[in-house]
Amino acid sequence: MSKIDYSEKIPNNVNLAEDKTLQRALEHWQPNYLQWWQDMGPDGSTNFDVYLRTAISVTPDGWAHFGHVKMPDYRWGIFLAQQEEDRKVNFGENKGMAAWQDVPGEHRANLRRIIVTQGDTEPASVEQQRHLGLTAPSQYDMRNLFQINVEEGRHLWAMVYLLHKYFGRDGREEAEALLQRNSGNQDNPRILEAFNEETPDWLAFYMFTYFTDRDGKFQLNALAESGFDPLSRTCRFMLTEEAHHMFVGESGIARVIQRTVDIMKQHRIEDPNEVRKHGVIDLQTIQRYLNFHFSVTVDLFGADQSSNAATFYSAGLKGRYEETKRDDDHVLKSHQYKILEISNGSIVEKEVPMLNSLNEVLRDDYIRDSIAGVGRWNRIIEKAGLNFRLQTPHKAFNRHIGSFAGHRVSPDGRLVSEAEWASNVRDWLPTEEDRAYVASLMGRVIEPGKMANWIAPPPVGINRQPIDFEYVRFN
């Protein structure tokens, strides 16, 4: 099962050829997908040979195979992690039952909804990032962007396979719709708000891959715990690919910070206006971008209290992050959890049933993980001997979903008036001027080994190649 069959039109390790009906259905979907890639995929890159990682099997020695490939020729396929023998449903009311190899009838609608929502985010990020190839700060970065794009495309395939194989006609219709919605489209937008935001520049891209792809890590991990085994195996393989996306974000921001602090030290300057005169991104602007992307991503986890989340958990469809490593009863009926709410004009903690707060549990796990990474960025600033520190804003800041939607909360967690918000928002969220300034720095650098002025080179190349390796060949 681990070997991937590349002789097939749709590479797979799920014995697709044995199910002719499914194979035909997916082969029918494939031209529409390729057309979508043509229309909405990376701009102006059709003829490039890109040093891409392609899986040749799902075992550790085969999943990262490198070579120059033209993106339209990348073999988007269906790869499931190896099956775990005797796997059980590990949580909820069906705990202890054998994991489902088929969709349990009573959970069909909920599972479909989970898969469609996850699937919708994958092509959305490709659409959000489609113009970035034109302003890549180096060949190395351009290659990383394209790697992310093809893998997001493949993740769409992973979800479409599940829809086609397990959800009959409804599934096929949902799979079609995944290609019809488009990020930011007024009439037919993507399902989740963060995936309709623009990713106009590379600072936004790195923030997106740090914060939003990290959301992917938590969502995919929660789905990898699912009692529906095909979904679990699909997500487990997706997670190995997702890691690179998060790496691009974390190391990208680290390199931006490195370059900025190098310039600040070299010229002994701290004033952001002075810093900008040297063509690098001031730390204050980085903080505002961080505030924006953090808060938008925190919204992705959904409402603070959700009966859907409780249903998904109790049914065994979606677990918690690292479900099987936690020491509790994995049923959670008598467990409580503290969430935040607004009461008498201030933000207070309130204890509520944990089952209804599972979105908040996942959000809090995510926030802890995000904060740790910001600490790693701060060490770069600390090492440079500067006093500035980046911070994640309070989780109630700039929220549009859940109990804080419609309220104004400062980054340090104070409920503020509309007037205070309006007078400070320019310090808290990126302004048009910030975005225009960052946009003014964007320009394509394609000479091997060269970097744009606003970013430091990476410490190591991809697959241990040198930094001046020809990661992209422009034909």
Partner 1 sequence: MNAPEPIAFIRQHLIDPEVCIRCNTCEETCPVDAITHDSRNYVVKADVCNACGACISPCPTGSIDHWHIVPKASAYSIDEQLTWDELPPKQDVDASVLDQAASDNSADAEEEGIQLNAATSLTSAVPPWSAAHPYVNLYTLKAPITATIAGNYRLTDPNATSDIHHIVLDFGTQVFPILEGQSIGIIPPGADAGGKPHYMRMYSVASPRTGEREGYNNLSLTVKRVVEDHEGNSTLGVASNYLCDLAKGATVQVAGPFGTNYLMPNHAGSNILMICTGTGSAPMRAMTEQRRRLEAAGKKVDGKLMLFFGARNPEELPYFGPLLKLPAHFIDKHFAFSRLPGEPKTYVQDKLRQAGKEVAELLKGDTYLYICGLKGMETGVMDALREVCMADGLEWTALSARMVNEGRLHVETY
User: How far apart are CB 249 and partner 1 at their closest, in Å?
Assistant: 8
User: How far apart are CB 376 and partner 1 at their closest, in Å?
Assistant: 7
The pair of three-digit structure tokens given for residue 285, joined into one six-digit string: 């602007």
Residue count at the site for partner 1 (CB under 8 A)?
Answer: 28
Rule CB under 8 A: say whether 252 interacts with partner 1.
no
* Spatial contact of 313 and 355, defined as CB atoms under 8 Å apart: yes
Rule CB under 8 A: say whether 63 interacts with partner 1.
yes
User: How far apart are CB 164 and partner 1 at their closest, in Å?
Assistant: 27
- Number of other CB atoms surrounding residue 307 within 10 Å: 10
User: Which residue in 17, 19, 172, 247 binds partner 1 (CB under 8 A)?
Assistant: 247
User: Which residue in 109, 243, 348, 436 binds partner 1 (CB under 8 A)?
Assistant: 243
Query: How wide is the angle at C-alpha 395 spanned by C-alphas 389 and 397, nearest 5°?
Result: 85
Question: What is the DSSP pairing of strand 65-70 with strand 49-54?
Answer: antiparallel
Strand (E) or helix (H) holding 51: strand 49-54
User: Which residue in 188, 327, 464, 475 binds partner 1 (CB under 8 A)?
Assistant: 464
User: How far apart are CB 371 and partner 1 at their closest, in Å?
Assistant: 9
Query: How wide is the angle at C-alpha 135 spanned by C-alphas 251 and 216, nearest 5°?
Result: 45
d(CA 31, CA 37): 10
* Spatial contact of 241 and 155, defined as CB atoms under 8 Å apart: yes
User: Which residue in 28, 265, 335, 379 binds partner 1 (CB under 8 A)?
Assistant: 379
Among residue numbers 68 through 107, which ones bind partner 1 (CB under 8 A)?
84-85
Rule CB under 8 A: say whether 250 interacts with partner 1.
yes
User: Which residue in 20, 169, 268, 368 binds partner 1 (CB under 8 A)?
Assistant: 368
Residue 169 or residue 325: which is nearer to partner 1 going by CB? 325
Rule CB under 8 A: say whether 221 interacts with partner 1.
yes
Residue 54 or residue 305: which is nearer to partner 1 going by CB? 54
Residue 91 or residue 167: which is nearer to partner 1 going by CB? 91
Rule CB under 8 A: say whether 276 interacts with partner 1.
no
Beta strand spans in 311-373 (E): 336-343, 346-353
**Stretch touching partner 1 by CB under 8 A, among 6-14, 53-61, 159-167, 440-448:** 53-61
User: How far apart are CB 316 and partner 1 at their closest, in Å?
Assistant: 20
Contacts of 127 (CB under 8 A, 6+ apart): 40, 182, 183, 184, 190
Residue 184 or residue 459: which is nearer to partner 1 going by CB? 459
Question: Binding marks (x or -) toward partner 1, 175..214, rule CB under 8 A?
Answer: ----------------------------------------
Rule CB under 8 A: say whether 217 interacts with partner 1.
yes
User: How far apart are CB 237 and partner 1 at their closest, in Å?
Assistant: 10
User: How far apart are CB 247 and partner 1 at their closest, in Å?
Assistant: 4
Rule CB under 8 A: say whether 236 interacts with partner 1.
yes
User: How far apart are CB 63 and partner 1 at their closest, in Å?
Assistant: 7
d(CA 53, CA 51): 7
> Nearest Cα to 207, choosing from 430, 25, 422, 20?
430
Rule CB under 8 A: say whether 369 interacts with partner 1.
yes
What is the per-residue DSSP string for 145-166? Answer: HHHHHHHHHHHHHHHHHHHHHH
d(CA 130, CA 141): 14
Rule CB under 8 A: say whether 242 interacts with partner 1.
yes
d(CA 250, CA 373): 7
Among residue numbers 106 through 125, which ones bind partner 1 (CB under 8 A)?
none
Among residue numbers 434 through 463, which ones bind partner 1 (CB under 8 A)?
459-460
Helical H runs in 329-417? 358-383
- Burial letters for 117-151: b for 16+ Cβ neighbours within 10 Å, e otherwise? ebbbbbbbbbbbbbebbebbbbbbbbbbbbbbbbb
> Nearest Cα to 71, choosing from 40, 34, 46?
46
**In the complex, which residues of this chain contact partner 1 (CB under 8 A)?**
59-61, 63-64, 84-85, 217, 221, 236, 239-240, 242-244, 246-247, 250-251, 368-369, 372-373, 376, 379, 459-460, 464
